[in-house]
Every structure is written in C-alpha cells, then in structure tokens.
Structure 1
C-alpha cells in the first residue's frame, strides 16, 4: 500500500468480544499498512524499502485465536510512521545527544535507517514527534492496558502475546530458529509461559530460541507485570513460514501458520494455571 491522502484510519482496531472470554490479549504493533501522505515528501528511499519494516500481514496470523475468544489490538499505521514497540525515550533522532541505543542504531520511535541507509530527507521535529505519540502511541498502549485489565478482572490473570514476524535468521553451521520467544529474560512472564510456547514449536518441528536475538521490547516491558498476574511474551515468526518468495504476499501456508500461532497462544494461556497468583499470596 502506498502513501495516501485518504482520511486516516483509527489508530488501532480492536478485535474480539467486548467482554474478555479468556485471559488472552494479542498485540500487533507492526502490521499497519496505512502510510500518511507526508511520508512521500519526507522519504529518501523507495516506498518498498519502508515496507520492509513491516511485520507483513502479521495481523492475519491472529484471526483463529480471535475467533476462539481472544482480544487483539491491531495497529493500523505503518511502522515507518511510528514504531509502537518503542518507548518515548527512543523518540530522538540517531545523532541527538540524548538518543537511546535503539535510536542511534536507526530503530527508534521513528525508524531512521535500514541496512545503513537513511530513510528520510527530513526527520520529524519534536512537535511532529509529539503529535504522533499523542495520536497513535499513547492511545494504542492505553487500549492494550485496558484489554489486559479487563481480562484480569474477568479471569484473575491475563496474558499478553505481542505478535511479530522476522526476516529469516541465518546461522552458519547450525539450524536457525524459525520462532523466537521473548520474555525479557524472565522479567515479563513466568517461566512456564515461554516453556509452553517452546513446546508447541518443538511439536511442530520448528527450531525455537528464547530471547535471542529478540528478547522483546517496549510492549512487553511496559505491560508485563507477573507479580500482578499480568504476563507478557513476544513471539517472532520467520516470514518465510507464511509469505511467498519476496516476502510481500501471503503464501498457501498462511492458514496453517495462523492455526499454529493460535495453538501456541492457548498452550501459553493454559500454563497460567500452574503459576502462583499474587492475590493468593496476600
């Protein structure tokens, strides 16, 4: 989808029942395909390069889980416009003195480069960045927080699965992971959650890794509070598992991968039953 002058969509789409039927909430921050018209004036690369930042069609991977009762919060705007899996500390440009390590690497709140190539003729100034944060970032994460609070209120615990896709990981001499489960090295979820997710991967013959090279970023770090019965993990899936050659369009494997993702989510939800609840310890 190219940049458009059409009215902008809402910041996110909420899928699933109004009242949570299960503890499961899914976040999809990087599958947005709306490119505001300003991108055309600002970009220094072909539009196709900006699309490489997307978790292409990851929003379709959550459909079976939603149909089974999960709530999903799906971002609508492209990652090139704002990265909802970054915090406000990542808002500075790569050359700013206050830039975070992610921003210096080109992967801040607004990505500034990919594969060493500058993305923009002009990086958004402070006022523009603040406008994007208030219009998109703040309301998206408020929606995630509200969904988790509602799930916990109904079920005593809640699980956030942050859904992502990744480029193929090449590891010479060893099998590359096709799935990476991140829990910030045990900080954002009980160990049983990642273990359950990994067991599903192994059952399907998919090489899996935990926290390497993706341990999870702002979304699970911000929302995951195991001590308060809200657990959060990030799931990265190799794009070649569900996209055609060229990684632009869904392949015939999309339906099967969506079913796999749902299975992983529900096994992770089931693992919550074996975890101690904070309220029981009070």
Structure 2
C-alpha cells in the first residue's frame, strides 16, 4: 500500500516507519524538517494543509503528529498541544477533500486521556469521555478526524496508552531512577496504568490500516492494565533493583505543574474493540514485555 505518515520522526513514528517498511509498504513522510530526503515532504501541522504531492495516490493516511504532552504545561504549551492536534488534523482533512481518488482510510492518533481520571472503573471504547484539558482536547481531536467520514473515508481513532519501547517514550524517562535504585510508586501507586508494548502498538496500527472492518475508536493498550504500584514492582524486578522510594503527589506537582495529573490519574482501559475483531497481542503481560525490552 501507499501510506502517507505524519509524526514519523518521533518515538512511536520511527518504530511504525520501520514496521511498515518491513511489511513492504511504500511510505511518504510528512515532517517539519524533511532535509531533502527522498519520500519526505515539509509540513507544519499548525500552518496549513500538507502539500498535495504527499497525499496524491495514497491508499491510507496515518496521522500521529502533535506537540508532546510530557512537558511542563503553561498556557502557551497547552494551546500548542490543542492546536497541533485539532487544527493540524483539520488541515489534513481539508487537504483530503481535494483529492481524487481519496485514501481509503485515515488512522488518526488520540489517547486514553480521552477518559480522564476514572479510578478502578473498567473502560472500553463506548465509555463516556472524562472532563478536563486532555479529555476535552481528545474529544475535539477525534471529532475533527471524523470529518473525513463525510468524504467516504474510513476513520480509525487510536486511543493510545503508555507505549513501552527501547530508546524513547515513557520507559526511557523511568529507567534512570530505577536503575539507580531510587525508583518508587507515584502518589501512592493506586492509579491504574494502561500500557502497550511498542511492537504490539505498531502491529495494531498496521492491522487498523489493512482491516477494512476496523473503524471508530480503538483502545491501543494491553488487555492487562496494572496499578502504578504493580508496575513499579514489576519494573524493579526486571532490573534487579529495589524500588522503595515513593514519589508524593506534591513532588510531582512541583516538578511538572499541571501536567503531573497525567501521572496520577487512573485509567483502567481495555482493548475491547481490537479483541472483538480478532487482534492478537504478542506481549500482553507486563513482565514479559519488560523482559523483552530490557
């Protein structure tokens, strides 16, 4: 297939690019800094529509681009997070209106942040959205992607949890303190974490692209979420290190400001849609996933 991919230079995008190329797909990459590389096109999601040549003839579009959430939030950062996702997606969908033929499918990123802080409630794709900055952003983000449905394009929305992989993402931030033996649960550790091995994540995206029956929201998480306390214990065991230094909520607030809520909110998310439609996870258990990655 000919696939146009945005956000390809980030942690997840790089892994997805390698996976799709290994599957024999022909990729066109939209990037802020294409640096003259073959198959790369310049695009700033917030500035306007991508170049027509990057989309012409594409069978599928996978849209991952967006301002990183994992940074200290200020009013300007929050505005950039929302704008990069909502306006960037709007610009992309607007560009699709001019194409003939149009791509068969738009696979657009979203996040389990859609659900907000839900305690131990078991969440599926039909669960209602939460309240707050991230749920509101995700809801608007997904609604913008859904505009492509009016163009006859199948739309898949990836509600992604914590992606665990080598060389980047959340695990890269966790490893230094844990390897030093000073890791510990966050804010008591009772909050649920919905995670996924990066290889299952890229396989899930490829499955969503090629499976014509898949549409709507897909929870991109392992079928075995864990509490932060259990995650801490399993990670420490995988590293053969102690993990007895808890990080209180006020310390997270001092370090990260409002963004600390992302670390302390509880989301017990299940991949009901993927399982119901036959997707098989290769690394569904956290211990096995971390052993593979470490």
Q: Which interval holds the TM-score relative to the shorter structure?
A: 0.3 to 0.5
Scaled by the length of structure 2, the TM-score of the pair is 0.34
